[in-house]
Amino acid sequence: MRRLLFMGCLSYLLTGCTHVIYGAVLPELLAHYGRSYSDGGLLVFLEFGGFLLGVLCMPYLIRRISRRSTITTAFGLLFIAMIAVASLPPWPIAVSLSLIAGVAFGLVESSISTFILIAAKDQQAVAFSKLEVFFGLGALIMPLVSSALIAGGAWKFAFLLLGLSALATGIIWSKLSLGEHDELLAHRADLTKKAEKPPALTKGSLVFLLLFMFVFFMYAGMENTIVNFLPSIFIDQLHATSSVSSLSVTAYWLAMVVGRVFAGVIAEKMTYFRYLAVSYVGSLLIVLVWVFSTQLWSSFAVVLLLGLFMSGMFAVALIYANQLLPGRTEQTTSALIASGGLGGSVLPLAAGWSMDRFHVGVSIWFVLIGMLLVLGVILFSRKWNTQALHSSKQLKTYT
């Protein structure tokens, strides 16, 4: 299990880097091609489109070519895409490569997350929170590396570095032995024809799945809205300088990383439902304070606290949903992560449109309303949680 967690964390570190690499070098990339920020928006949007495609294809690929082959193929695609982008091809090809990178990103994240959830058993929250820590580290490290390369006039080598890292990781996955988990890694549908099919969704389970797809849609949308528009909020409402306002994003990710270190352990002790309820109540109160915050120091405090409370939401909600929909780990995980990818691309666009037409501070209200809606869904989900408790002897596991 240690070896699996190590490889999972390494892989999530690279997905975190992939998540932010285009944004980290976007001004230089657009300047090289003589393009506008709307073209940059298309680049990022296609990356998320590829991410959705990769996540949705994951269950099918795992059944047809095995989990190991799916993961190594994904890293191969990422290697090809990043090396090709580093060569600075014509713009239409560069845009297409962002789609391929997104597909690879989605395949890696969804394949490894389901693998960890199946293998970890009673320690799912602890194991998955470690993955999330390394995702956050990747999102922190890549901008720093890109900044150093930009200062040296070698920004395109950020893509080369990520591509070579993906190649090395893919090779390791292709040769890796995980002992008792090798059977899961090599699983193929044609070798397990007698394996049980995923249980059919009942009407109640379908409603629960749809509700949690909404939770992930809103969560990813809120997180991306915060990350993308924090500097603008600090500049417009607090009159902070660009250099100071950019630190707000760093502060948010630092708090996320620190929070994820402890999120799994806390969730296991509190139960998943209570952890999610406390996280969303706390976040709602913090954002409410943010609405009336007029000082720079208090706004930084709000950002740090918000990062801490939001740090475990994704991982714990994913595990909670899978526990209440047993036997459908790959299908449920794929649907929920895909919903998050959709929300992460669509809702920030809506928030940006509103900010252009109304006021920058409207993005804070957007997050506030989103937190309120998701909290309502989490509390409503208690109905299915109670049913699961009555139908299982493993009381602690299902809560």
Is the backbone of residue 64 left (phi > 0), alpha (psi -120 to 50) or beta? alpha
Q: Give the dihedral of Cα atoms 78, 81, 85, 90; nearest 10 deg.
A: -160
Q: Is the pLDDT of residue 359 over 80?
A: no
Number of H helices and E strands in the chain, helices first, is 16, 0
Q: Which residue has the tokens 């109905």?
A: 383
Q: Is the pLDDT of residue 398 over 70?
A: no
Q: Which residue has the tokens 């915050």?
A: 293
Q: Which residue has the higher pLDDT, 158 or 329?
A: 158
pTM beyond 0.85: no
Q: Give the dihedral of Cα atoms 315, 352, 213, 40; nearest 10 deg.
A: -70
Q: What is the pLDDT of residues 48-92, one digit of tens each?
A: 788 888 888 888 888 888 888 899 999 999 999 999 999 999 999
Q: Which residue has the higher pLDDT, 356 or 372?
A: 372
At 139 the pLDDT is 81
Q: Is the pLDDT of residue 394 over 70?
A: no
At 389 the pLDDT is 45
At 122 the pLDDT is 66
Q: What is the pLDDT of residues 222-246, one digit of tens each?
A: 887 787 677 777 777 777 775 577 6
Q: What is the pLDDT of residues 11-49, one digit of tens each?
A: 999 988 888 788 778 778 888 888 876 677 677 778 878
Indicate the pLDDT class of residue 194, thresholds 50, 70 and 90.
very low
At 67 the pLDDT is 84
Dist. CA 303–CA 287, nearest whole Å:
9
At 356 the pLDDT is 67
Angle between helices 313-324 and 242-270 (to 10 degrees): 30
Indicate the pLDDT class of residue 393, thresholds 50, 70 and 90.
very low
Number of Cβ within 10 Å of residue 167's Cβ equals 17
Q: Which residue has the higher pLDDT, 184 or 394?
A: 184
